[in-house]
Structure 1
């Protein structure tokens, strides 16, 4: 039996955030963003974690946009550049200042080694989800049927080759950034061994 996917939130901001991702990111990165939301939402449902669906979806759609050449920063880590894009997007969507800050915080938090679920449920969920989707961290924490259904709906499209190249470029130019530290600690090998690509 095929597992049912969590529903994608359908608000004006969510539709526009997906449009932004599709306009500027490759199909592989767009699917990564969508899978990241789905992994996060499923984990939250199974572990009783309350979260803001719209906030998490918008953050998921822009969390890697700082890797895209037009938004890449020469001076700050890609997650900070992505957080700034998220803040600007949220301002354009009419979100209040506190909610703009939150989307930026969630985007930045996805690169943290660990995020406290009590302090930042959306950041916690996005960090876990991206860890699975990129590095293959703890895949058995998600049911096999759900993993198969998500991958069938949003295939990987050679994501890891593209992503590793982006990370290595970030590491060369910004060695003190989280991407630089990840790369120095074997990120590429972990990503290439991701069981989701088997």
Structure 2
């Protein structure tokens, strides 16, 4: 039990916790821990069958793309998914489980897709959604567990720090933000940010109609 939530106590999960703890700022580490515990709680309430290890690894590693060590030319969700896949392969996971981890991380900020995939992907998306904005499944978390999780892994001004992190990506790699939620942060907080319009891409395409 961790913060009143039943979790898998396996070497794989322990190594995933250590891996992300060694590479993340405290606020980000606490975010992924809360997301995992929220996801596990939702799974218990819903009574759906799922791979508890894969859900744990997916939730724990879902924001590796925000860590400087894994920054790159792709949108941060894909950079994180690639890093999570490398971790899974190094741990000896088979390709099916590895692919579920990749999908969970790559789609973690795209609920319109993630919620309709495998149970682990959907649960990961829901757990992250609870911690992100209280959305989708907040009411699945009872008051006792919510208090326990927040006490064990406090938010550490996540709203402010996460905003600063995403705005940093918008400023340094704007081309990776045009088709994900980082666009919203750029439009609101980053002066001079002008993402191209996909409508213009269609209407200005080099085809005669």
Tell me the TM-score normalised to structure 1 length: 0.84
Q: Deviation above 4 Å: which 4+ runs of structure 1?
A: 115-118, 184-187
Show the counterpart of 2:181: 179
Show the counterpart of 1:120: 118
Worse-superposed segment, 29-38 or 176-185: 176-185
d(CA) in 1 for partners of 2:117, 2:58: 17
| Length, aligned pairs only | 184
Show the counterpart of 1:55: 54
Distance 1:67 1:182, change over 3 A: same
d(CA) in 2 for partners of 1:116, 1:158: 27
Tell whether the 8 Å contact from 1:170 to 1:179 is kept in structure 2 after alignment: no
Worse-superposed segment, 131-140 or 151-160: 131-140
Tell whether the 8 Å contact from 2:115 to 2:125 is kept in structure 1 after alignment: no
Distance 1:155 1:180, change over 3 A: closer
Shift of 1:79: 1.0
3-state DSSP of counterpart to 2:181 = helix
d(CA) in 2 for partners of 1:183, 1:132: 19
Q: Superposition RMSD on alpha carbons, in Å?
A: 2.2
Tell whether the 8 Å contact from 1:60 to 1:126 is kept in structure 2 after alignment: yes
Distance 1:45 1:186, change over 3 A: farther
Distance 1:141 1:181, change over 3 A: farther
Which ranges in structure 2 are unaligned for 5 or more consecutive residues?
190-209
Is 1:24 the counterpart of 2:23? The answer is yes
Show the counterpart of 2:104: 106
d(CA) in 1 for partners of 2:17, 2:30: 10
Show the counterpart of 1:147: 146
Tell whether the 8 Å contact from 1:60 to 1:107 is kept in structure 2 after alignment: yes
Is 1:69 the counterpart of 2:72? The answer is no
Distance 1:113 1:181, change over 3 A: farther
Give the greater-gyration-radius structure (CA): 2
Shift of 1:88: 0.4
Which ranges in structure 1 are unaligned for 5 or more consecutive residues?
188-198
Tell whether the 8 Å contact from 2:100 to 2:120 is kept in structure 1 after alignment: no
Distance 1:185 1:133, change over 3 A: farther
Tell me the TM-score normalised to structure 2 length: 0.79
Tell whether the 8 Å contact from 1:77 to 1:179 is kept in structure 2 after alignment: no
